[in-house]
């Protein structure tokens, strides 16, 4: 097959944008040039790769195969460039960092510190929920992911960054505010605002409810921590949420922590990458930085307050863990 990089990049751009015009804008070419590349590739392969739908241009099954191949080839090219730069003694390269939405409250600070120390390394941030980031890892769109629970159905290596507590928050003046050692069953009388399906926070909340035998009424499913916090402050309900997302609101009194028995639940933050992919110098440098220094960028005010008022051990005691390899 005489497939060219231009053809592959045209298909990949159409897949990302769902539009020939926007794909052309990304590639700095004209829309007819994108159409020509796609048509030439279709003629060579003998199958239709792109179809028009009500929502825009979409890839056929064959188109998705080509787009996946394009992502893998681009990853190999990036890795090759980084390796050659390292051989030349230069600290250069690009790292595509996938960040689950909850981690955006601290990860950018850590990445900014890394970028300042390594100005030759280009960081590209991709933010999404857990399922989005795992999909990015699987399709080589993400080199290194920052998440709270590494995937179990992929061969990955997970390096610990630091602790990740989860708590229940309520608006000031809530009936449970200020009470100590609240029984989990009290939550059965509350409206719970929850993250969307596919979120790691949502899965952990459901696990906690199952283990404690409680069934709070689900009020709304919300795909943003910011919207959840605003909704709780407005009095629409309470929420199970990452303690690292609520530092400012708890410290200035806009949200209160509920002292529920069994909380906080402690999990960990991890830097995750595919086991099967060679770790390039730029990615290895970022991984080393996050593993050694990432914890100092974690928000701590709300967590310190929790530890001061609640000495209850987590539902599932933590075991020493530094690196996890899924094979």
pTM value? 0.67
**The pLDDT value given to residue 79:** 77
Where helices occur in the chain by DSSP H, the ranges are 5-17, 20-27, 31-45, 61-87, 107-117, 130-138, 200-212, 225-233, 247-251, 281-293, 301-309
Angle between helices 31-45 and 61-87 (to 10 degrees): 110
**pLDDT of 233 above 90:** yes
Nearest to 140 by CA among 305, 269, 12, 2: 12
Domain 5-69 of CATH type 2.30.40.10:
no
**The pLDDT value given to residue 317:** 38
Nearest to 127 by CA among 224, 258, 208, 47: 224
CATH placement of domain 164-266: 3.40.190.10
Query: For the ranges 8-12, 84-88, 188-192, which has the lowest average pLDDT?
Result: 84-88
Which ranges in the chain are annotated with CATH 3.40.190.10?
87-163+267-312, 164-266
**pLDDT of 272 above 80:** yes
**pLDDT of 157 above 60:** yes
CA distances 138 to 7, 71, 77, 266, 311, Å, are 22, 10, 17, 27, 40
**The pLDDT value given to residue 129:** 87
What kind of architecture, by CATH, is found in domain 87-163+267-312? 3-Layer(aba) Sandwich (3.40)
Backbone conformation region of residue 103, classed left if phi is above 0, alpha if psi is from -120 to 50, else beta: alpha
């Amino acid at each position: 097959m005489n497939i060219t990089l231009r053809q592959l990049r045209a298909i990949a751009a159409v897949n990302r944008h769902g539009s020939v015009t926007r794909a052309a804008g990304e590639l700095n070419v004209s829309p007819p040039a994108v159409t020509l590349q796609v048509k030439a590739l279709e003629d060579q392969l003998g199958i239709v790769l792109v179809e028009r739908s009500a929502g825009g241009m979409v890839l056929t099954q064959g188109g998705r195969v080509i787009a996946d191949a394009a992502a893998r080839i681009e990853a190999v090219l990036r890795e090759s460039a980084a390796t050659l730069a390292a051989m030349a003694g230069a600290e250069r390269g690009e790292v595509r960092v996938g960040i689950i939405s909850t981690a955006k409250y601290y990860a950018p600070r850590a990445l900014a510190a890394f970028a300042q120390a390594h100005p030759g390394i280009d960081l590209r941030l991709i933010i999404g929920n857990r399922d989005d980031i795992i999909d990015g890892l699987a399709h080589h769109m993400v080199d290194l992911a920052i998440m709270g629970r590494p995937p179990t159905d992929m061969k990955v290596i997970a390096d610990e960054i630091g602790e990740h507590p989860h708590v229940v928050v309520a608006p000031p003046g809530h009936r449970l505010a200020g009470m100590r050692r609240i029984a989990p069953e009290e939550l059965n009388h509350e409206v719970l605002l929850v993250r969307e399906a596919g979120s790691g926070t949502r899965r952990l909340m459901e696990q906690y409810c199952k283990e404690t035998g409680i069934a709070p009424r689900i009020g709304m499913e919300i795909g943003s921590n910011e919207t959840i916090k605003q909704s709780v402050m407005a009095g629409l309900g309470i929420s199970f949420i990452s303690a690292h997302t609520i530092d400012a609101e708890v410290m200035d009194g806009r949200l209160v922590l509920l002292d529920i028995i069994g909380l906080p639940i402690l999990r960990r933050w991890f830097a995750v990458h595919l086991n099967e992919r060679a770790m390039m110098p730029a990615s290895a440098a970022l991984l080393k930085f996050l593993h050694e220094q990432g914890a100092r960028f974690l928000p701590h005010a709300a967590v310190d307050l929790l530890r001061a008022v609640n000495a209850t051990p987590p539902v599932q005691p933590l075991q020493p863990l530094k690196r996890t390899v899924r094979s």
